Structure 1
Amino acid sequence: MNQRPDEDFEEDELELYEHHRILVDKGQSPVRIDKFLTEKVANATRNKVQQAIDSGTILVNGQPTKANYKIKASDEIKVLMEKPPRDTEVISENIPLDIVYEDPHLLIVNKPPGMVVHPAHGNWTGTLVNGLVYHFQHLPEMKGNVGRPGLVHRIDKDTSGLLVVAKTEEAMTPLAAQFFHHTIDRTYLALVWGEPEQDSGTIVGHVGRSAKDRKVMDVFPDGSQGKHAVTHWKVVRRLRYVTLVQCNLETGRTHQIRAHMRFLGHPLFNDAMYGGDKIRKGTQFAKYKAFVQNCFDLMPRQALHAMSLGFIHPVTKEKIYFEAPLPEDFSSVLDKWDNYVKHE
């Protein structure tokens, strides 16, 4: 199975980590930045530096640069990478876990909103994995995915809902294979701005990093960039200015639902990264604006919940299925919209 460790870790927050920061000496003569960094950074080659520049991970004075840029005195150069510059030791912490199901081979966890799944830059403690290593000993790790014991997929910090965790090597490989081959049944509930014209549909469009902001994913329907991505959606409830939709993932790309729904013209409610934290539909009345702000305050995150997981048990080979109810913040916002629509 030629799987990259991160290939199907859907809905993960994208981060780049600073590995080098160089302040150019005042007496430095102008020289191409690719040549300069090849000499300054250990194990760097001209080709690697040029690739990093092309991908936008080398910044000069906070902005992406070009390989032929000639550095000047007092320039600040930052070299960013996808992996954090630290060891992979995971600190064990007594963090309560909402375990929906457990057997000797795996467990299903209902992750609350606001909890990061695994340690990373800015969140080395307090994550789901920190809690897992406290409660469970000798969790396996996927090859090339050191520091994330038990994980075969993940959801981002502010998405709530279900995750499957492998407890043994015997369970991890077949679970990872099911995610890789997109045979896992995954259902999400999302509250989106506006009302789709149709009651259901399928979004097909490559998902890849935005050239403007590498933490954000864009949709490339012509397939020119990114990875193939398919999201099936259907309306669950129409609430005039917002709509509750069910999304089923055929693929599991980073931020897939968030990027696809924005591409459809219906960004997720209060999704700051994808433009959903502003009023996108509705009236200009002060009462309405105050109502929406109240909803934002009640659910200070994107309205996305990983509601269900269905897959073949890696050992028993039986089909198993789990659901998690909407968390309180999400259900409270839905109740408010219901009440608003009835009394408007």
Structure 2
Amino acid sequence: MSDEPLIDDEDGTALEAHLESGGVRLDKALAEIFPTLSRARLQALLAEGAVTRDGEPVSGGSAKAREGLYTITLPPVVSATPAPEAIPLTVLFEDADLIVVDKPAGMAAHPAPGSETGTLVNALLAHCGASLSGIGGVARPGIVHRLDKDTSGVMVAAKSDRAHAGLSALFATHDIERTYIALTRGAPSPAKGRIETLIGRSSSDRKKMAVLNSGGRNAITDYVVERRFGEPAKAGGASMAARVSCTLQTGRTHQIRVHLASKGAPILGDAVYGSGSPAAGVKAAIADAGLKRQALHAAVLGFVHPVTGDQLRFETAPPRDMTELERLLADL
């Protein structure tokens, strides 16, 4: 190993050191010559392509280390406190205590690694200012529930602490009406039913959720196949795709995506849970519709206003990418 000092560039964003011998795992070797970085952090930087050896990118912490000059380019430090951003919002309802919006696909609910800006929180901070509830913490003010970044649809956020507490209680007891529209590969069978499983982290990929035989948390989804596309010529054959309405009885991470995939009908465009390839006609329709995400839309959100006691219910249609895909699927 090298006893050369760590070298910072003028901006403090790059680290360099020379490795004089190899043979051990790369992440372990790098941890010795870059002692300020943990192996987990080094593995993430390797995966991001932020590490070079003699000017050439290297990746994979389990590979054997080789002698050479290693440079690590560190990403800029991001403030832990989100900044207000003047991002247009489709506001469905707003009063002194809460705000309901139709979140577009591609917008994360709150800042997270890889989505530090352009989130719903950034937009709400600009729109609501100091009135946004702070119970969620500085990184997630007002957020009481989430939609996946690439899922569109209705979301509610709290503007007052009393609304935040009340909404959180409603979500905890599942006293919320939540219905989603999904376009799926094939169709779940039977055409109407309830999916009840345990859902938890996948043992093979910790970034994914999975149906578990034990452990995890109970998850319940009621579904109805509303329309089938590409009906087979012979009776008993499988449809190419379907429009499925899903009503959540619980709210687990990726619940609908995991549940539909477990029924052999993953959501079209889902790069994480959509194993297998759709029929050629469906694949062409996805491309022509410009769908670049999972075809999932939070269509209905209903609840009792936690402060006024009024019954509120909001419903929005899927955005253009999903409506165009459905139109194209109807021609199969």
The corresponding residue for 1:166 is: 158
Question: Matched residue of 1:272: which SS?
Answer: coil
Distance 1:328 1:165 in 2: 24
Matched ranges for 1:93-132 at <5 A:
93-132=85-124
Contact 1:268/1:276, CA 8 A, preserved across alignment:
no
Shift of 1:195: 2.6
Q: Distance in 2 between matches of 1:228 and 1:26?
A: 53
Helix, strand or coil: the match of 2:252? coil
- 2:189–2:263 CA contact under 8 A, matched in 1: no
Alignment partners' CA distance in 2, 1:233 and 1:114: 25
Partner of 2:259: 260
Query: Is 1:230 matched up with 2:224?
Result: no
> Is the radius of gyration larger for structure 1 or structure 2?
2
8 Å contact kept, 2:78–2:116: no
Measure how far apart 1:110 and its partner are: 0.1
Task: Report the RMSD for the aligned CA atoms in angstroms.
Answer: 3.6
Does 2:186 align with 1:187? no
Cα distance in 2 for partners of 1:331, 1:232 equals 22
Indicate conservation of the 8 Å contact 2:82/2:138, yes or no. Answer: no
Deviation, 1:124, is 1.6
Offset from partner CA, 1:241-288 (integer Å, 9 cap, x none): 111111111111111100111111110011111125721xx4xxxxxx
Shift of 1:330: 0.7
Q: Which amino acid aligns with 1:127?
A: T
Give the gaps of 5 or more residues in structure 1.
1-20, 66-70, 77-84, 283-288
Q: Hey, what does 1:3 align to over in structure 2?
A: none
Q: Between Structure 1 and Structure 2, how many residues are aligned? A: 292
Q: 1:207 to 1:93 in 2, by over 3 A?
A: same
Q: Which amino acid aligns with 1:246?
A: S
In the alignment, the residues of structure 2 paired with residue 209 and residue 114 of structure 1 have an alpha-carbon distance, to the nearest angstrom, of 24
Give the distance between the partners of 1:29 and 1:245, measured in 2 at CA. 54
Task: Measure the CA separation in 2 of the matches of 1:29 and 1:97.
Answer: 54
SS at match of 2:218: coil
Aligned partner of 1:332 among 317, 320, 324: 324
TM-score normalized by structure 2?
0.74
Separation in 1, partners of 2:287, 2:144 = 32
Hey, what does 1:142 align to over in structure 2?
A: 135
Compared with structure 1, are the counterparts of its residues 25 and 151 closer, same or farther at alpha carbon in structure 2 (3 Å cutoff)?
same
Task: Specify which of 204, 226, 248 is matched with residue 196 of structure 2.
Answer: 204
Equivalent in the alignment of 1:133: 125
Matched residue type, 2:224 = K
- SS of the equivalent of 1:229 reads strand
C-alpha distance in structure 2 between counterparts of 1:275 and 1:197, whole Å: 17
Give 1:1-344 correspondences, 5 Å limit.
87-138=79-130, 139-143=132-136, 145-220=137-212, 222-224=213-215, 226-239=216-229, 240=231, 241-275=240-274, 278-279=277-278, 282=279, 289=280, 292-298=283-289, 299-340=291-332
Q: Distance in 1 between matches of 2:243 and 2:179?
A: 13
Could you tell me how far 1:312 is from its partner in structure 2?
Answer: 1.2
Q: Name the counterpart of 2:74.
A: none
Measured against aligned partners, the alpha-carbon deviations of 1:115-170 in whole angstroms (never above 9, x if no partner) come to 12211212222111111111111211235x43111110110111010000111111
Q: Distance in 2 between matches of 1:25 and 1:174?
A: 57
Deviating 4+ runs (over 3 angstroms): 23-30, 59-65, 71-74
Q: Distance in 2 between matches of 1:113 and 1:29?
A: 46
TM-aligned CA distance change 1:301 to 1:199, over 3 Å: same
Match of 2:6 in 1: none
Contact 2:180–2:298 (CA under 8 A) maintained in structure 1: yes
The answer on whether the counterparts of 2:182 and 2:245 sit within 8 Å (CA) in structure 1 is yes
Which one is further off, 89-98 or 117-126?
117-126
Higher normalized contact order (CA 8 Å, seq sep 6+, divided by chain length): 1
Check whether the contact 1:277–1:296 (CA below 8 A) recurs between aligned residues.
no
Relative distance call for 1:62 and 1:182 in structure 2 (3 A) is farther
State the identity %: 39
Shift in Å, 1:28? 10
What is the letter of the counterpart of residue 259 of structure 2?
H
